[in-house]
Amino acid sequence: MIEPSNMLLGELTDASGAVLGNCRKFSTLVIDRKTLLKSSPKAEALLFKPLRVIDGLRAMIERYAALAVEAAPHAGPHGRLLMGQHLVDLVTLALGSRADDGQSARQRGLAQARLALMKADIAAELTHGDLGIQTLARRYGLSARQAQRLFEQDGTTFTDFLLEQRLLLARRMLADPANAWRKINDIAYSAGFADVSYFNRAFRRRFGGTPSDFRLPR
């Protein structure tokens, strides 16, 4: 069972408040006052009162915020807007807002944050040949079916997303001059493929050519 984590809702009233973001003991997330109050009307009553947040929600907020900061320069205005809304939704849940607001946030922000973080975990663990949806789902308190549903709602499946990311990784490795000395089966294994024949078939189907076609000449 995950123990509740502490959070504190504060208020930045002047520039001096920015120093909070530099403290190593905690992280600061700044949200527009009107936006937060629209989502959580009773937020002001919780100012400077420790909040007991369960189910690893604080860690999810921190990780998703970090992921959003990293992804923002590469996302368009709509993408940045969605990431911001998802963060507001997560904070709304942490504040324990009204049931209707919380349900909307849970369906939208929590689901999208979980999916984004699972995708980030997949990208970080592509070389793990045994990466499976069961292990990934447990990290976020989901069943394998619930996790699979999140991918399906995004228009894909866990298996297809994992395969796509591994194939893209293999293509990058093949085109990297630093890997010119490596055999194709070695690159396939390094990209997380356990079966070289399957890798060759999947690669040709995805990119219209063999792995050898994408190698730089030595």
The predicted-structure confidence for 32-90, as pLDDT tens digits, reads as follows 777 777 777 777 776 777 776 666 777 777 777 887 777 777 767 766 777 777 777 77
Reported as a single tens digit per residue, the pLDDT across 20-43 is 344 445 567 777 777 777 777 777
How many other CB atoms are there within 10 angstroms of residue 210's CB atom? 12
Work out the number of other CB atoms within 10 angstroms of the CB of residue 137: 20
Question: 159: helix, coil or strand?
Answer: helix
pLDDT tens digits for 107-159?
A: 667 788 888 888 888 988 888 878 899 988 988 888 999 999 999 988 999 99
* Six-digit token string for 87: 């963060």
Q: Measure CA of the first residue to CA of the last residue in the chain; give whole Å.
A: 55
CATH 1.10.10 positions along the chain are: 162-214
The answer to whether residues 87 and 109 touch, using CB atoms and an 8 Å cutoff, is yes
15, two tokens? 């520039």
CA atoms within 13 A of residue 163's CA, in its CB half-sphere: 16
pTM: 0.68
**CA 160/CA 214 separation, integer angstroms:** 22
Instruction: Using the CB atoms, write b or e for 197-208: b if 16+ within 10 Å.
Output: eebbebbeeebe
pLDDT of residue 35: 72
Q: What is the tens place of the pLDDT at every residue in 160-210?
A: 999 999 999 999 999 998 888 899 999 999 999 999 999 999 999 999 999
CATH for 162-214, options being 3.30.1120, 3.30.420, 1.10.10, 1.25.40? 1.10.10
- Percentage, residues of the chain above pLDDT 90: 29
For the chain, what is the mean pLDDT?
78
